[in-house]
């Protein structure tokens, strides 16, 4: 019997190794319930194989009965565990049905433990032997079959129907590869178990095959669970990376808003406070100058309010999407007129419903261009024109500032925002052009062609 015991020992080693591996995975909190249940089923398969080895080595009836009862008990507990494993793997939610199936196995387990000779035989008189094709022999009992064996067959049939019904539901949900993998591994396992029932009934005189069904189920499902686990780990890493990038983006946006508040609203309010503090003294001596101060104060206040509205719009995810582009451009130019001594002319001609993506690009480029004018252009006049026609949208922003040599490479310090503006334009397929000459100011031209399909819908 050396060959049989050697093969069974190898199978037992494979099952216990995979079982402990998945228990460790479960304790690592990676799909813990599923991996714990699978690891436990592997250990039960290992215990079943050890009991089978003891049965094959039995030399008398008592040893055979003890080994047989132990083997059958492990088989029933394995059936219970596998039912829960299949339910977890296929997301089968009917707990009552699983409990009913488990109750059948509990009844057979109880009968097997109470009966002196187990559930299979009501009486065993002696042991004979079966000669195998390769020359070895195994013990075989001679006795009377137990009529209560029907409980075992009922439990096996019930579990078989449940297994394939759960696989069918999983397949219908679109998890086809997972359902087919589970179904094939279960089919192999159930086929070997049915073979063993025929051996028990004396229809076939051969060794038990369930242990090889266990091994195939363990290997196939372990590979499948490992693949699912690797995908879950990759997804977790992607989520962690996305969360990290989100936090960075939030921090960058906070810094930008803080910088904008400092550069615009806070400085404007500081100027407002200074003028308001000086006006009472100036009014007594120079009422005409004080009147000009009041006008300037009103202009600065309106600019600060416009800046605050812009910042509040940007803080809301749908703030830019709700307002027309022309209104957003006018708010930007109104805010800039309050921040600097600039004469700003804003012209909006026509109207067209734009997507949030296109609207955001036009808004950001306008915002960047106006900020550059304030910081670097030394301009006194700015013109912003937004025109809609039936085929395209055009934005022109020009100033009478100091300008720069736009052909110079690299771009002069302080004009790095130009590259960002061009990238934004490219993201929606818009044309971006900047022209600037020393002492003659700068002009930005942005044009986006309206898709033909959208033109038809608008009409």
Per-residue pLDDT reduced to its tens digit, 17-57? 999 999 998 887 778 899 999 999 999 999 999 999 999 99
Q: How far apart are CA 366 and CA 432, in angstroms?
A: 12
Cβ burial 13-27 (10 Å sphere, 16+ → b, else e) = ebbbebbebbbebbe
> Number of C-alpha atoms within 13 angstroms, CB side, residue 274?
8
Nearest to 105 by CA among 88, 126, 84: 84
CATH 1.10.10.10 fits 2-242, yes or no: no
The predicted-structure confidence for 387-415, as pLDDT tens digits, reads as follows: 987 788 999 999 998 888 766 644 544 45
Contacts of 422 (CB under 8 A, 6+ apart): 432
Find out whether 321 and 356 touch, Cβ atoms under 8 Å.
yes
Is 70 exceeded by the pLDDT of residue 376?
yes
DSSP 132-194: -TTS-EEEEEEEEE-TTHHHHHHHHHHHHHHHHHHHHHHHHTT-HHHHHHHHHHHHHHHHHHH
Mean pLDDT check: name the lowest of 189-193, 264-268, 429-433.
264-268
144 forms bridges with which residues in the sheet? 123
**Tokens standing for 257?**
């808003």
Q: Would you list the domain boundaries of the chain? A: 2-242, 318-459
pLDDT digits (tens, 9 = 90+) for 408-447: 644 544 455 788 889 889 999 999 999 988 888 899 999 9
| End-to-end alpha carbon distance in the chain | 88
Equal CATH topology for 2-242 and 318-459: no
Q: What is the pLDDT of residue 40?
A: 95
Distances (CA, A) of 185 to 92, 181, 221, 339: 18, 6, 7, 73
Predicted pLDDT of residue 408: 61
Would you say 332 and 395 are in contact if contact means Cβ atoms under 8 Å apart? no
**What architecture is domain 318-459?**
2-Layer Sandwich (3.30)
The fraction of the chain above a pLDDT of 90, given in percent, is 37
Round to whole Å and give the CA distance between 79 and 106. Answer: 10
Six-digit token string for 276: 């308001």
Q: What is the DSSP letter of 410?
A: S
- Cα torsion 298, 299, 302, 304 to 10°: value is -110
């Amino acid at each position: 019997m050396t060959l049989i015991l050697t093969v069974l020992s190898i199978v037992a080693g494979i099952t216990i190794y995979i079982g402990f591996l998945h228990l460790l995975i479960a304790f690592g909190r990676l799909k813990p319930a599923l991996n714990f249940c699978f690891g436990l089923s592997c250990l039960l398969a290992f215990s079943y194989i050890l009991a089978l080895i003891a049965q094959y080595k039995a030399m008398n009836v008592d040893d055979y009965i003890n080994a047989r009862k132990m083997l059958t008990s492990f088989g029933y507990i394995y059936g219970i565990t596998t039912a829960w494993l299949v339910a977890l793997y296929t997301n089968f939610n009917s707990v009552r049905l699983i409990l009913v199936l488990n109750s059948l196995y509990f009844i057979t387990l109880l009968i097997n433990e109470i009966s002196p000779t187990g559930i299979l035989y009501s009486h065993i008189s002696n042991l004979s032997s079966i000669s195998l094709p390769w020359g070895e022999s195994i013990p075989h009992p001679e006795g009377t079959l137990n009529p209560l064996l029907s409980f075992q067959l009922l439990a096996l049939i019930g579990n078989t129907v449940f297994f394939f019904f759960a696989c069918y539901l999983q397949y219908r949900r679109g998890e086809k590869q997972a359902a087919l993998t589970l179904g094939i591994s279960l089919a192999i396992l159930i086929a070997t178990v049915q073979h063993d029932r025929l051996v028990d009934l004396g229809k076939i005189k051969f060794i038990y095959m369930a242990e090889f069904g266990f091994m195939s189920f363990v290997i196939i499902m372990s590979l499948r669970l490992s693949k699912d686990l690797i995908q879950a780990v990759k997804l977790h890493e992607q989520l962690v990376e996305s969360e990290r990038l989100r936090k960075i983006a939030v921090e960058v946006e906070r810094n930008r808003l803080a910088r904008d508040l400092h550069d615009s609203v806070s400085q404007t309010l500081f100027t407002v406070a200074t003028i308001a503090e000086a006006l009472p003294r100036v009014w007594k001596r120079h009422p005409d100058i004080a009147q000009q101060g009041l006008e300037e104060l009103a202009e600065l206040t309106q600019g600060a309010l416009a800046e605050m509205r812009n910042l509040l719009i940007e803080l809301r995810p749908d703030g830019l999407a709700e307002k027309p582009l022309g209104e957003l451009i006018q708010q930007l130019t109104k805010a800039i007129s309050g921040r600097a001594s600039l004469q700003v002319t804003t012209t909006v001609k026509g109207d067209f419903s734009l997507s949030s993506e296109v609207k955001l690009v036009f808004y950001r480029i306008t915002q960047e261009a106006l900020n550059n004018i304030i910081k670097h252009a030394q301009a006194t006049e700015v013109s912003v024109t937004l025109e809609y026609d039936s085929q395209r949208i055009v934005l022109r922003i020009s100033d009478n500032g100091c300008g720069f040599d736009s052909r110079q490479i690299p771009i002069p310090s302080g004009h790095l925002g130009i590259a960002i503006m061009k990238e934004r334009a490219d993201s929606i397929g818009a044309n971006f052009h900047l022209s600037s000459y020393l002492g003659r100011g700068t002009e930005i031209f942005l044009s986006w062609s309206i898709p033909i399909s959208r033109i038809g819908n608008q009409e």
